[in-house]
Homo-oligomer: A and B are copies of this chain.
Amino acid sequence: MGVRSDITRQQLLDAAVTVLSERGYARTTTKEIARAAGVSEGTIYRHFTSKQELFRAAFTERSVADVQAITGLPDLAGTGTVRGNLLLLIRMIEDVEANVAPLHAAASSDAELAAALFSESPLADGGNPIMTPLEPLARYLAAEQALGRVRGDIDVAHAAFALFAIPFAGVTTNRLARTAGKRNGVDMAGALEFVLRSVVPE
């Protein structure tokens, strides 16, 4: 409860995310995390009951702010420009992913980890943050559609997924390319504009 304890806890969360990003889940050991945090291995267990609990905490605490911003998206309907609001959302999705992508990746093939990660999630129905943007995005589009700021002839659910897929695929493939040593990223913004033209009138 002391400030020292809090600092150590944050260092451990940082270290967990860092090592996970650098080494991947299979190579992320408690020893490595402790080394990166500059503490002893035993210290991990003063703050978290298990390695999985550490990851769950990192996952939750790192994504909760972004996720809450995302769920507030529909409230923006009618304000600013549709293009601007959507670009903002896309930026949020990128941020979430940048923080927790390796955890997502690991969880996608590890039911046990997935369960640990997504239990006690701040999201409704124990959801996982990756799917979360879809529904608020669709609701936002519907609200704008009602206001006439989004084309009336589109299915908002389909459009939402097409929009969501771009930053998602962009972040993921860029990450893989970077890890594999490639440098030539993908032009997310251009693709986004391409889809936006089908969304906003004119």
Contact = CB atoms under 8 A, between A and B. Distances in A.
Interface of A: 20-27, 101-102, 104-115, 118, 127-128, 130-131, 134, 154-155, 157-159, 161-162, 164-166, 168-170, 172-173, 175-177, 179-182, 186-188, 190-191, 193-195, 197-198
Contact of A187 (B107, B109, B161): B161
B109 A20 contact: yes
Contacts of A177: 128, 131
B118 A109 contact: no
A194 B24 contact: no
A109 to B, nearest CB: 3
Contacts of A175: 108-109
Contact of A190 (B102, B158, B176): B158
A180 B118 contact: yes
B190 A157 contact: yes
A109 B155 contact: no
5 contacts: A26-B106, A115-B180, A161-B190, A162-B166, A169-B169
Contacts of A102: 108-109
Given A158-B191, A158-B193, A162-B194, A109 B21 contact: yes
Given A105-B108, A108-B172, A168-B165, A114 B158 contact: no
A26 B158 CA distance: 34
Contact of A194 (B118, B131, B159, B166): B159
Contact of A162 (B110, B180, B195): B195
A150 to B, nearest CB: 13
A110 B165 contact: no
A106 B25 contact: yes
Nearest to A112: B27
A105 B186 CA distance: 18
A24 B108 CA distance: 8
